[in-house]
Chains A and B, each alone.
Chain A
Amino acid sequence: MPDTFNEMYQGGQVRAPYRGLERWADEMPDELRGLKQSEAEALFRRIGITFAVYGEGGSPDRLIPFDMFPRVFAAEEWAKLERGIKQRARALNAFLADVYDRGEIVRAGRIPAHLVYQNDAFEIAVTGFTPPHGVFSHVVGIDLVRVGPDEFYVLEDNCRTPSGVSYMLENREIMMRMFPALFQEKRIAPVETYPQQLKRTFDSVAPQKCEGPPCVVVLTPGHFNSAYYEHSFLADMMGVELVEGSDLFVEGDFCWMKTTEGPKKVDVIYRRIDDAFLDPLCFRPDSMLGVPGLMNVYRSGGVTICSAPGAGVADDKAIYTFVPEMVRFYLGEEPILKNVPTYQCAKDDERRYVLENLPELVVKEVHGSGGYGMLVGPKASRDDIELFRAKIEEEPHNYIAQPTLALSACPTFVAEGVAPRHVDLRPYCLVGQDVVLVPGGLTRVALKEGSLVVNSSQGGGVKDTWVLAGE
Chain B
Amino acid sequence: MLSRTAENLYWLARYIERAETNARLMEVAARNALLPDTGGGMRNEWQSVLHASGTKQGFDEKYGDPVQRNVETHMFFDRDNPSSVASCIHQARENGRIVRTALTTQVWEALNSASAEMTELGRQERSRLSTSDMKDFALRHMAQVRGAILATQLRNDGYDFMNIGHYLERADSTARILDVKYYVLLPNVAMVGSGLDNYQWRTVLHAMNAQRAFAWVYGGEVTASKIVDFLVLNDQAPRSLISSAQGLLDHLERLARQYGRSSGATARGRQMVARLSQMTVADIFDEGLHDFLQSHLRDVLDLGSEISASYLSGEAR
In Å, the complex CA distance between A174 and B308 comes to 40
Identity of the chain B residue whose Cβ is nearest the Cβ of A242 in the assembled complex: B101
Determine whether the beta carbon of A261 is less than 8 Å from that of B259: yes
Does B97 sit within 8 A of A, measured CB to CB? yes
Determine whether the beta carbon of A46 is less than 8 Å from that of B157: no
Task: Please tell me which stretch of A72-80, A115-123, A243-251, A458-466 contacts chain B, meaning at least 4 of its Cβ atoms lie within 8 angstroms of it.
Answer: A243-251
Does B312 sit within 8 A of A, measured CB to CB? yes
Nearest CB in chain A: distance from B112 CB, A: 8
Identity of the chain B residue whose Cβ is nearest the Cβ of A236 in the assembled complex: B101
User: Within residues 224 to 263 of chain A, which ones have a CB less than 8 A from any CB in chain B?
Assistant: 229, 232-233, 235-236, 241-244, 246-247, 257-263
Cβ contact of A262, chosen from B101, B161, B312, B315, cutoff 8 A: B315
Does B316 sit within 8 A of A, measured CB to CB? yes
Judged by DSSP, the binding face of B is helix
Determine whether the beta carbon of B97 is less than 8 Å from that of A260: no
A-to-B contact residues, CB < 8 Å = 46, 48, 223, 229, 232-233, 235-236, 241-244, 246-247, 257-263
Determine whether the beta carbon of B97 is less than 8 Å from that of A247: no
Does B314 sit within 8 A of A, measured CB to CB? yes
Determine whether the beta carbon of A243 is less than 8 Å from that of B2: yes
Determine whether the beta carbon of B100 is less than 8 Å from that of A232: yes
Cβ contact of B3, chosen from A46, A229, A247, cutoff 8 A: A247
Determine whether the beta carbon of B2 is less than 8 Å from that of A258: yes
Known interface pairs A258-B315, A259-B314, A260-B312. Does A247 touch B98 (Cβ–Cβ under 8 Å)? no
Q: Which residues of B contact A46 (CB under 8 A)?
A: 105, 109, 112
Known interface pairs A223-B98, A232-B100. Does A241 touch B2 (Cβ–Cβ under 8 Å)? yes
Q: Which residues of B contact A246 (CB under 8 A)?
A: 4
Cβ contact of A48, chosen from B100, B157, B313, cutoff 8 A: B100
**Additional 7 contacts, C-beta under 8 A, given A241-B2, A263-B314, A263-B315:** A48-B108, A259-B1, A260-B1, A260-B259, A260-B311, A261-B259, A263-B316
- The 8 residue pairs across chains A and B that have the minimum distance between CB atoms: A258-B314, A262-B316, A236-B101, A260-B311, A258-B3, A223-B98, A260-B6, A260-B1
Q: Which residues of A contact B2 (CB under 8 A)?
A: 241-243, 247, 257-260
In Å, the complex CA distance between A244 and B161 comes to 20
1/0 contact trace for B159-194 toward A, CB 8 Å? Answer: 001000000000000000000000000000000000
Nearest CB in chain A: distance from B262 CB, A: 13
Known interface pairs A247-B314, A258-B315. Does A232 touch B3 (Cβ–Cβ under 8 Å)? no
Q: Which residues of A contact B4 (CB under 8 A)?
A: 243-244, 246-247, 258
Q: Which residues of A contact B6 (CB under 8 A)?
A: 260
In Å, the complex CA distance between A236 and B255 comes to 23
